[in-house]
Structure 1
Amino acid sequence: MTSGLATPLSVDHWTDISPIRRGPRARISTAIARRIFFRVAERLGVSVSLGDTPEPGAEPADLRLILPEEFFARVGNDGLIGFGEAYMTGAWEADDLGEVLTVLCREIGDLVPMWMQRLRAVYVSRPPRRQRGSSRNTRKNIAHHYDLSNDLFQLFLDPTMSYSAAMFPADSITGGDGNRTLLAPPVPGSDLAEAQGRKIESILDAAGVTAGSRVLEIGTGWGELAIRAARRGATVRSVTLSSEQQSLARARFADAVEAEGLRADLVQVDLLDYRAVEVPPGSPGFDAVVSVEMIEAVGYAYLPSYFATIDKVLAPGGKVAIQAITMPHERMLATRRTWTWIHKYIFPGGFLPSTEQLDEVTRKHTSLRLAGRTTFGSHYAETLRQWDTAFVAAHQEVLDLGFDETFRRLWHFYLEYSRAGFASGYIDVQQLTFTRGPDAEPSPDVEPSPDVEPVETR
């Protein structure tokens, strides 16, 4: 059996990883974590082994605690952040990481006893102020993730370089309220590039993008949506805060101009905060505003200013189509002030809204009204599964780019952790369409104080 606090990976330079605490309080929290962990594992049917070498003749365990003392110390002191960090350092392992995480995500609201949930405000970490989605902080938040390396993303994304949920072929069911469509789960292994194209064409259709449309894209990605809108004959202004994405998106559009004969003036990609977008001189505004999975970087307190900006630049009769990762409303209210492993290592300043919150914010602060939505969370689970498969297969190429083994484990955990969220139904993804209410007037600019949050629905 392997034990102790030494780690099998070199993580000394990973200064963000919390040190293992010692002392009476740490011993108590470690003991509590050990007790709760084994109770949860037994209740959920997750088999656990201690050490890296299985007992002779034993069935492989679902989860192996390579360094048990470190694992419980990290979980005891830092909860789910410690759980993720323990995987980064090699303190635990799972042959099917995604399945183990999916089982845990299905029960995430009940993993700890009720008495601990009542004390949540005392022991959970709070988001640092430096990561709030203000104009001052947002560029750094975006660069933390999207400016890592274009070469890294090219290792696991499909040729469209789409870094958002794909939409695979699937039957659809119209919801009882008449404006919601649910897509059935996709067939595993379906073509990813084709599904990404379908997703983009779907959101362009929802926004009514045709020849001559003036389109604002908030969050460029690597340019695929702008290129496809240009193929329809639309004029696109795309804004991003990632210099890496801007560079590659411009290069990809230039290639499309040369290869397909597109007009070179159809797409403009600017390094610009969404709040700084203005209506073009002499123009009534943009006929369509589209944004694919950028709203998650806006932040709870800044949703009013995000939608007010869109409302201000939208032309009369224009449409808004947004692809957003969402979570149930009550869960959003319970976790919106919690700093998570994803915030610490992947998306600083990130926030997942609920549909109810988006509907309330637009009604309260804008003339926009939610007109329709398509939900397809199971499609994101399949998208992430394919991304992770490609990422794991590119193990050596990741190391060749200068990333170490700890980063590789971090990224693998991130992709599988995210997949588990969608596979379990804990989070969802939707394409939402907004139009102007018949009697609504565009609202004035909204910029909340960094210390004030907007009204919430309960």
Structure 2
Amino acid sequence: MTVSYPPTHQSVVPAADRTVDPARWPDVAHPPRTSALRTAIARRIVERAFTRVPLRIRHGGDGRPASLVPLRTGALPTLTLHRPEAFHRRIGAGGLIGFGESYMAGEWESDDLVGALTVLASHVDELVPAPLRRLRGAWVRRRPEQQRNTPEGARDNIQSHYDLSNELFSLFLDPSMSYSSAVFAAFPASPATFTAAQHRKIDRLLDLAEVGPGTRLLEIGTGWGELALRAAARGAEVLTVTLSEEQADLARTRIAAAGLSDRVTVELRDYRHVEGSFDAVVSVEMIEAVGAEYWPAYFAALRGLLAPGGRVALQAITMPHERMLVTARTHTWISKYIFPGGLIPSREAIARESAAAGLRIVEDAGFGDHYAETLRLWREEFGRQAAAVDALGFDVVFRRMWELYLAYSEAGFRSRYLDVRQILLTADHTPETAR
């Protein structure tokens, strides 16, 4: 099937969307300059992909045909293209970065955003013809040099996300202020059980690390302090480090309010600069911010900080190894707008890098469906808090960006493209087991 569009010329750039501040969002306000050929190729690839997946594709309000693909029976997610020419121009110029920026600009939407993205994630290897995948290097961008996780770069990368506003995160996180996957007792999950599920996740990690009275515990990645609070309540002596000033400030406030300042020290410190010897090291979804270049340094730090007989308990998001290798070389929409410098590891990468540092995986349990539920609760609450987000000074483009981020992440787990795992490592020779 073919659909006719007006010709695209390199010299023609549509005017900025008046709802988008071009000073704040320069790459969203204006569809990029690109050649007619690249746009035409992108359009053909997109149209071909859409005919092969269970989606309904519609044009909205521009006089175009009612649909790009035959309507299938049953309830399917609908993706509506409000400005199809701009949509294809962005994809032609920037691939999936353009896909995300087009959503931020309001050029497309869906009646079931998670459902549509889950379909695309489930068919990710089928969307582009195999011969064209070999030309991927001509289409995608390399990660910017300034996003490398040097000590200075890591601080900037972390602060660009986690120092947005404590008030923003408090609008959609549960009262424990936990920003990682919960472990639910039953599905479907509900807001009423959310904090208990977050505590269940924390307690499982502390149990893996055998944290109890007198344990010298290091936490890499403080968050807003809930794990440190629960560890201190067990009688542990806790050092927790972070690069986020906003998180450190609120964590200290919460720890003081709980009367546990004598057991918990919060430091603004890079994991590479921590000194000491610890019975247990715990790190929750922090390895994703380390970057592949620095995984050897990260695992070497874990090993070097571990006292004899000590245990390391990690919670880590993972992706298939081949997809990780592709993503590692690519500047993505997530790395541009959400987590600069971030990279989700594979299980193989974790096993290889930890072994090279002298650590052995002795337990490894996955629970990706729990992360999908966690993200659903966050996403739904974020949507309910739109007016409060606006009141904090975040504009509609920011809200659409976070809607897409939360839905995109949820879709990753629902499609099983992503997983999350709790991993126990030791420096001894305990036989490896996995569940």
TM-score exceeds 0.5:
yes
The residue that corresponds to 1:229 in the other structure is 231
Deviation at 1:334, TM superposition (A): 2.4
Does residue 371 (structure 1) correspond to residue 362 (structure 2)? The answer is yes
Deviation at 1:163, TM superposition (A): 0.2
Amino acid at match of 1:28: L
Equivalent-residue separation in structure 2 for 1:35 and 1:226 (angstroms): 52
Q: In structure 2, the residue corresponding to 1:17 is in which secondary structure?
A: helix
Equivalent-residue separation in structure 1 for 2:58 and 2:189 (angstroms): 30
Equivalent-residue separation in structure 2 for 1:50 and 1:9 (angstroms): 21
Deviation at 1:187, TM superposition (A): 2.6
1:212-291 matches, cutoff 5 A: 212-257=214-259, 262=260, 264-279=261-276, 285-291=277-283
The Cα offsets for residues 104-128 of structure 1, whole Å up to 9 and x where unpaired, read as: 0111122111122111222211111
The Cα offsets for residues 333-391 of structure 1, whole Å up to 9 and x where unpaired, read as: 22211110000000000011111111111212x22101111101111111001001000
Alpha-carbon contact 1:326-1:427 (below 8 Å) kept: yes
Q: How many residues align?
A: 409
Does residue 162 (structure 1) correspond to residue 178 (structure 2)? The answer is yes
Amino acid at match of 1:233: G
The residue that corresponds to 1:198 in the other structure is 200
The residue that corresponds to 1:123 in the other structure is 139
Equivalent-residue separation in structure 2 for 1:17 and 1:244 (angstroms): 28
1:10-409 matches, cutoff 5 A: 10-17=20-27, 19-22=30-33, 26-52=35-61, 62-169=78-185, 186-189=187-190, 191-257=193-259, 262=260, 264-279=261-276, 285-364=277-356, 366-409=357-400
Alpha-carbon contact 1:240-1:270 (below 8 Å) kept: yes
Alpha-carbon contact 2:217-2:278 (below 8 Å) kept: yes
Equivalent-residue separation in structure 2 for 1:122 and 1:93 (angstroms): 28
Tell me the TM-score normalised to structure 1 length.
Answer: 0.86
Structure 2 unaligned residues grouped into runs of 5+: 7-12, 431-435
Amino acid at match of 1:105: A
Amino acid at match of 2:98: G
- What percent of counterpart residues are identical? 52
Q: What is the RMSD of the two structures over their aligned residues, measured on CA atoms?
A: 2.1
Alpha-carbon contact 1:236-1:268 (below 8 Å) kept: yes
Structure 1 unaligned residues grouped into runs of 5+: 171-185, 280-284, 440-458
Tell me the TM-score normalised to structure 2 length.
Answer: 0.90
Equivalent-residue separation in structure 2 for 1:255 and 1:53 (angstroms): 57
Amino acid at match of 1:388: R
Q: 1:8 to 1:65 in 2, by over 3 A?
A: farther
Deviation at 1:329, TM superposition (A): 1.2
Amino acid at match of 2:275: E
Alpha-carbon contact 1:89-1:406 (below 8 Å) kept: yes
Alpha-carbon contact 1:222-1:246 (below 8 Å) kept: yes
Equivalent-residue separation in structure 2 for 1:301 and 1:61 (angstroms): 39
Alpha-carbon contact 2:55-2:76 (below 8 Å) kept: no
Deviation at 1:8, TM superposition (A): 5.8
Alpha-carbon contact 1:377-1:425 (below 8 Å) kept: yes
Q: In structure 1, the residue corresponding to 2:51 is in which secondary structure?
A: helix
Equivalent-residue separation in structure 2 for 1:60 and 1:45 (angstroms): 7
The residue that corresponds to 2:403 in the other structure is 412
